[in-house]
Structure 1
Amino acid sequence: MIRIQKEKHIELIVDVLTKIGLTSEQAQMASEIMNYADVRGIDSHGLILLNTYIDRINKKIIRKNPNYKWDKKSEIISVLDGDHGMGHFMGHLAMREAIKIAKEKSLGLVLVKNATHYGASGYYTELAAKHKMIGFTTTNTMPLMAPTGGAERILGNNPISFSIPRQNEDPVILDIASSVVAAGKLILVNQKNEIIPEGWALDKEGNPTTDPNEGYEGGGTLLPIANHKGYGLALIMDILAGVLTGSGYGKNVGHSDIGFVMMAMDVDQIMPKEIFNKRLDSLISMVKSTKKGNENNTIYLPGEIEYLKKKEREQDGILINENLYKEIEKLTLDLEISIDNYFS
């Protein structure tokens, strides 16, 4: 494993993306959100995707300088046409708008169409939590998953995220895919030349597989969490992010017509924040003080493990595997950027 410091991680991504012609504001936002993922141990949504984004930019799937447009539907609802720009930038723009609306109207809802992959969902909902609001987001993805009983990619592993603000504590952040694991996890395992557990994916013939390549890049399908429950979640998220936004849906989703939903809810306009905080702390205390099945067990809140990882990686640096390092080394060489500027 090779170590890169947080600041150098951000700098590397910005330098690479601007070198290939992405606008500075899009590159900055992509680097911030990819760094958010890697610092928290969400390695499937960080630096590992840099080559993927570059390939899509070079193929004009992601537009370097998009002409995005707003369409206000009501006092609390707006639609953003991302014009196929970098999903991270569009997602940030959308959640900031949802927060702005919620400050005035208690609830802000922004739908995004004609966008691209936006990275780690928790980043966006945490933005709302930083403003003492409840945040929600979902997005659809390229088809990666079969409905329960099927063996063909029909739905994305469409994620869902909520963040709940807490007084003087890190927010509670739920950020889950509707598949057992994200596709990036299979890429990561494949880079390490390891196998995946049975139950993560099927091969292209619909058979269970432990080969990460067969389960994803070789044409297989990811499996939904809890069978029909994960399938149901993926379908509903596709209705919201795909059908409702005017973006692609199901098998029609491409890399540049993905949809997002961003929502911010101002708690203080529903219930005085002092009462909300007291009630929330009471619930969390109940959860944390649960009788344990094993005295060595630790009960974590959603997002808590990622915050612990963040403290560790901000101090010690982000670890990446040797194969990913070699990918980055080749990439920087091709772009005539010195990799020594980032890795020590």
Structure 2
Amino acid sequence: MNQSKVTISLYELENFYNAIFTKLGVPEEIAAISAKNFIYADSKGADTHGVLRLPLYVQRLQKGLVEKNPNLKWELETDNSAVLDAGNGLGFYTTQMAVEKAVEKAKGNGISMVTIYNNNHFGAAGCYAKMIAEENMIGFVTTNGAPLIAPVGGAERILGNNPFSFAVPRKNHEPVVFDMANSIVSAGKLMVAHHQGESIPEGWALDENGEPTTDPYRAYNGGGSLVPIAEHKGFGLSLMMDILSGVLSGANFGKNVSGLANYEKITGNGNAIIAINIEKLMPEERFFERLESLLHMVVGAKKAPGTERIYLPGERGQQVQEKNRQTGISINSKLHEELQEIASSLEAPLYKFS
């Protein structure tokens, strides 16, 4: 199905997010932080985690399923660890608060771990791991989500796609950011395909009976499941991420995590964050020299036929981000109309578009 496109600058879109959150009663500081972290996915071209999901957040805030001004509570705090009860707040905000705590603790104690429970969807994991790398530390961030993956051999969703991200600082370069989920494609790609009336390639998903399907509706809304990468490996990674972010944090886990589109329950998901202070293990300059030596080996490797360049994790996203900062992003007219309706209903200013 061909649909006309609307182009919006990242500046306009971030301001729109901020305005919508504020109109919904989110305090200004929380709204601004949430908008900044929300736009990260759009800037990187990860449209499945960006503007496509705004209507879901709006519905959840309107129905009282997300606390607009959460009461954050720190528990079991030590010199290098803490647990955050996120108060069912916007995950874009609460997760940044936890990242800041992890960085603060790692500065003095070398390594820290912070877990979060009673949290909500936070967008792209790489956004938060990169925050840690920008403090010259190695960052790890993971989250669990609503069940989308069946165990290998199963025909029932048990585990979320449970993405995770590592970010490593570089001297005079953008950090190396590795951000992945554990299925062949994200559920967001199925949402986009269904939204645009398109089929999906066989091998991406299973139907409700555990059989391959090309129908994004049967694979997602109809009770099917995503196919994990490399079968047992992707399944195992999702399980481990749920143990870290769900079981260990005290959050919901497995089938108990609710999805954004379930307007009957809070999501109740959890997170795990690790910050590693390089200076406590090795002088920074020595680390950066050794890191660049390794990265040059990687990008300088003999290239396969037809390959012009070898990319490091996150480099393609950086290129997309640079382009999108100049050109803005495009959304289909159907989503544009939906956003117009939201803005009108909240008496919020609409973004400028072309």
The separation in 2 between residues aligned to 1:144 and 1:58, in whole angstroms, is 25
| Aligned residue among 84, 92, 108 for 1:104 | 108
The residue aligned with 2:185 is 181
Measured after TM superposition, the shift of residue 14 of structure 1 is 0.9
Q: Corresponding residue for 1:314?
A: 325
Q: Distance in 2 between matches of 1:3 and 1:249?
A: 38
Write the letter of the residue equivalent to 2:288: N
The 8 Å contact of residues 179 and 225 in structure 1, kept in 2 or not, is answered as: yes
**Within the alignment, does 1:159 sit opposite 2:163 as a pair?**
yes
| SS of residue in 2 equivalent to 1:50 | helix
Identity of aligned residues (%): 43
Q: Which residue of 2 aligns with 1:260?
A: 271
Whether contact under 8 Å (1:153, 1:221) holds in the other structure is yes
How far off is 1:271 after superposition? 0.6
Runs of 5+ consecutive residues of structure 1 not aligned to the other structure: none
Shift in Å, 1:185:
1.4
Instruction: Look up the match of 1:343.
Output: 353
Please report how far the alpha carbon of residue 60 of structure 1 lies from its aligned counterpart in structure 2 after TM superposition.
1.8
Q: Indicate conservation of the 8 Å contact 1:138/1:159, yes or no.
A: yes
List structure 1 segments (4+ residues) > 4 angstroms apart after TM superposition.
none
> Which residues in structure 2 correspond to 1:91-170 (within 5 Å)?
91-170=95-174
2:16 touches 2:349 (CA, 8 Å); kept in 1?
Answer: no
* Higher mean displacement: 267-276 or 21-30: 21-30
- Separation in 2, partners of 1:36, 1:305: 14
> 2:343 corresponds to which residue?
332
Code of the residue aligned with 1:311 in structure 2: it is E
Of residues 201, 206, 220 in structure 1, which corresponds to 2:224?
A: 220
Equivalences, count? 343
8 Å Cα contact 1:25-1:89 kept in structure 2: no
Q: RMSD of the alignment, in Å?
A: 1.3
Distance in 2 of aligned mates of 1:168 and 1:320: 34
Show CA shifts across 1:15-34 (max 9, x none): 11111222222222221112
TM-superposed deviation, 1:333? 2.1
Q: What is the one-letter code of the residue matched to 1:185?
A: K
Give the one of 265, 270, 281 matched to 1:270. 281
8 Å Cα contact 2:19-2:349 kept in structure 1: no
CA offsets 1:232-273 (integer angstroms, 9 cap, x no match): 000011011011000111111234311111111111111111
State the distance in 1 between where 2:176 and 2:293 align.
14
The DSSP-based 3-state class of the residue aligned with 1:185 is helix
> Which residue of 1 is the match for residue 252 of structure 2?
248
In structure 2, do the counterparts of structure 1 residues 291 and 280 end up closer, same or farther at CA, with 3 Å as the change threshold?
same
The 5-angstrom pairing of residues 225-236 of structure 1 reads 225-236=229-240
- The one-letter code of the counterpart of 2:37 is I
Q: Which residue of 2 aligns with 1:205?
A: 209
Q: 1:313 Cα shift? A: 0.5
Q: Tell me the TM-score normalised to structure 1 length.
A: 0.97
AA of the residue aligned to 2:303: K
Task: Give how far 1:338 is off.
Answer: 4.1
